[in-house]
Amino acid sequence: MSRFHCVIRLPPIFSVLSLLRMRRYVYRYACQGMLVLCCWAVSDAFESPRVLNNAQKLGPAAMARTQALVQEIAESATQDEESRLKTINTYFNRRILYRDDQDAWGVIDYWASPLEMLAKGQGDCEDYAIGKYFSLLAAGVPSVKMRLVYVRAQVGSGIQAHMVLAYYPEPNAEPLILDNLVTEIRPASRRPDLAPVFSFNAEGLWQGVGSASAGDPSARLSRWRDVLAKAKAEGWW
């Protein structure tokens, strides 16, 4: 694939050293506990203890990235929705390196769960859109306001398959586009380079970005069904 193409882990004697180690241990888990409490305040469905526990199993890099993301989600609790979009969009676009599936996973097409991407620190367009979707769910943005949109993107002189996340402030409003190619969040009217093919979320599947249903997304999109199951097991929704 090309750069932009997406085919759709108490001692008995209290020495000074042991006390310092204990203090770091207590501080670390106290901070995690504060993040957990904050995230519960944002979304009842988001199980941050499970997310952090699963991230810890994937190694220190996964844990560090996940803790940073959980903190961003927690701190967005007092922000309006569009500010939450900016916070989460910026996190993924800055923290995750673009890699196609062949380089990241050794297969032509793979849709990673949020923790899988955070463990790798890499992802392609679908992974960016998926990570932003579940993070915004955790931050309290309703799923009905968001759609993952498969598009044909004009890149240079060619057309590439691509995926973005669209946010609708109101049901019939012009959506805002969260993307890894153009990192600034823009209204759809300012993204003439994107031609929608179909869109979906946890509730539905649509032709283009309209209201015409194209069936059950979990039935028709097997990779999306797998991602939903993995994200639920990880604790995101």
Decide if domain 16-234 falls under CATH 3.10.620.30: yes
Locate the domains of the chain by residue range.
16-234
In angstroms, the CA 61 to CA 167 distance is 30
In angstroms, the CA 101 to CA 220 distance is 21
Nearest to 161 by CA among 201, 197, 188: 197
pLDDT digit string, tens, across residues 34-59: 444 444 445 678 999 999 999 999 99
So what's the pLDDT on residue 58?
A: 98
So what's the pLDDT on residue 6?
A: 55
Q: Is 168 helix (H, G, I), strand (E, B) or coil?
A: coil
How much is the average pLDDT of 173-200? 97
Which residue did the predictor score with more confidence, 63 or 24? 63
Q: Please check the confidence at residue 80 and state whether its pLDDT lies above 60.
A: yes
User: What percentage of residues in the chain have a pLDDT greater than 70?
Assistant: 82
In angstroms, the CA 169 to CA 82 distance is 8
Q: Rounded to the nearest 5°, which phi and psi values hold at 155?
A: -125, 110
How much is the average pLDDT of 113-128? 98
pLDDT digit string, tens, across residues 123-159: 999 999 999 999 999 999 999 999 999 999 999 999 9
So what's the pLDDT on residue 43?
A: 61
Res. 25 pLDDT band, cuts 50 70 90: very low
In angstroms, the CA 208 to CA 197 distance is 5
Contact 115, 234 (CB under 8 A): yes
Q: How far is CA 55 from CA 17, 47, 62, 225, in A?
A: 28, 12, 6, 21
DSSP bridge partners of 164: 149
Q: Please check the confidence at residue 23 and state whether its pLDDT lies above 50.
A: no
